[in-house]
Amino acid sequence: MDTMTIIAILAASVAAQILGGLWYSQSVFGKMWTKEMKFTKAKLAKVDMKTPIVVMFLTNIVTATILWWLQLATSAGTIGKALSLGLAVWIGFTATVQLGGVLWEMKTLKWYAINAGHSLVSLLLMSAILFYL
């Protein structure tokens, strides 16, 4: 893995982290997501966000690395192919696994749409960054 690949993976990871911060902010989907999770202001006030933010960044690095490897392995030589790969990963793994939250954990379809939507946009964003860098 060369320096440019590492930079691309880190850029994709940072972009996904920023997207998550915006997606779940109170001005976008945060209020709805908080309601769907049945979180109270008191419960949220007790949460130390440092660990989840660091762990999420590390998972973004893993995801970006796997997307990079898949782009390489499948010879995704156009932006369309790179985005199709991100979409396929989302459909085949993320969207299907997250649906378990609705089926087994009694989560709502609104919860699913917020989380699955974030995953889709994140994977597409990472795929594009990895392709262009």
Amino acid 9: pLDDT: 98
Span 105-130, pLDDT tens digits: 999 999 999 999 999 999 999 999 99
Contact present, 38 and 108 (Cβ < 8 Å): no
Per-residue model confidence as pLDDT tens digits over 76-100: 999 999 999 999 999 999 999 999 9
pTM of the model: 0.94
Paired tokens of 68? 């990079």
Determine what percent of the chain is predicted with pLDDT higher than 90. Answer: 89
* Residue 1 pLDDT exceeds 90: no
